[in-house]
Amino acid sequence: MSSIGVGLRKEHYPYLRKGEAVKISWFEAITENYMDTQGRPLEMLESVRKNFPVALHGVSLSILGGSFPDKKYIEKWKELIGRIDPFLVSDHLCWTEQSGNYLHDLLPFPFTKEFLEFAIERAQQVQEILGRKILLENVSTYLSFPQSEMTEWEFISLLSKRSGCGILLDINNIYVNSINHGFSAVEYLSSIPWENVGQIHLAGHTDTGEFLFDTHSKPVSKEVWDLFSSFSDKIRGIPILLEWDEDIPSFPEMEEEALKAKFILESLII
């Protein structure tokens, strides 16, 4: 059975400090929230790590950015990995920086053969520096490029197979992109090399009326749960995480939402 986790958020620190009962199996911490501090956030992460497995998930690697690699960033990342001993290390397949300007968004790129070779080289470089496998996550996007020569799922599949990196498969992002860009989410999920998928992300999005916006501010949508159920045979055994970053509910409410994944997988076995 898959283990279920939730994101470690500062809003829940008081609840966790009380030592209340926790039903989920592990936590995912945002890497950058703990790289530049020796204070209370890091103390909280280390306290959680004493009792739970932890995955580190980054948002600022900018693996396809212009000033890669950022040696200072990598050194801090390695130091945190050595301190926390996470069972998974991941970031996003995107770029967030160009010419020293950080945009704080996970930005898209064209799915071309040239970009594929570029991404393979970068992924291999990161793994050599860290001395371990990383997972790269498919991101939600709001524009596409006419230069693309393959689908998103073909790009990610080839990247994983040739670089040796794992896939962090965000099912909500796939659904958001399928609506925004008009492709089949089922075809995407049917085409991914599941043997390379090391983690599943679930989250909620917002329907603006014109496009879907990946807000992480709501419960997981019925459509995303339906996709999750349809591919349960592939998903079972893979760590599953619920992300919730805006309008964050209480810890028990977020935990209840995350555990729906477990109930779905168990009910489908019966």
Q: What is the mean pLDDT of residues 202-220?
A: 96
Contact 32, 63 (CB under 8 A): no
Integer Cα distance of 29 and 16 in angstroms: 14
pLDDT, position 53:
97
pLDDT surpassing 60 at residue 109: yes
Mean pLDDT across 208-228:
96
pLDDT band per the 50, 70, 90 thresholds, residue 31: very high
Mean residue pLDDT across the chain: 95
CB distance 94 to 59 below 8 Å: no
pLDDT at 47 over 90: yes
pLDDT at 101: 78
Q: What is the pLDDT of residues 187-200, one digit of tens each?
A: 999 999 999 999 99
Question: With bands split at pLDDT 50, 70 and 90, how would you rate the model's confidence at 169?
Answer: very high
Architecture of domain 4-268: Alpha-Beta Barrel (3.20)
> pLDDT at residue 76 above 90?
yes
The CA–CA distances, whole Å, from 158 to 12, 52, 94, 125, 196 equal: 38, 33, 16, 17, 11
Give the whole-angstrom CA distance, residue 74 versus residue 87: 18
pLDDT of residue 37: 78
* Rg of the chain, C-alpha, whole Å: 18
pLDDT of residue 270: 56
Confidence of residue 208 (pLDDT cuts 50, 70, 90): very high
User: What's the confidence (pLDDT) of residue 189?
Assistant: 98
Q: Are 76 and 51 in contact (CB under 8 A)?
A: no
Q: What share of the chain is helix, strand, coil (3-state, %, to 5)?
A: 45, 20, 35
H/E segment holding residue 159: helix 152-163
**For residues 57-70, average pLDDT:** 91
> What's the pTM value of the predicted model, to 2 decimals?
0.95
Distance CA 21, CA 10 (A): 18
Task: Give me the pLDDT at residue 157, please.
Answer: 98
Residues listed for the chain: 270
Mean pLDDT value across residues 157-161? 98
| Burial environment of residue 172 by CB neighbours within 10 A (0 to 12, 13 to 18, 19 or more) | buried
Non-local CB neighbours of 95 within 8 Å, separated by 6+ positions: 62, 63, 64, 65, 66, 107, 109
Confidence check: pLDDT of 100 > 80: no
Confidence of residue 97 (pLDDT cuts 50, 70, 90): confident
- d(CA 130, CA 233) in angstroms, rounded, equals 32
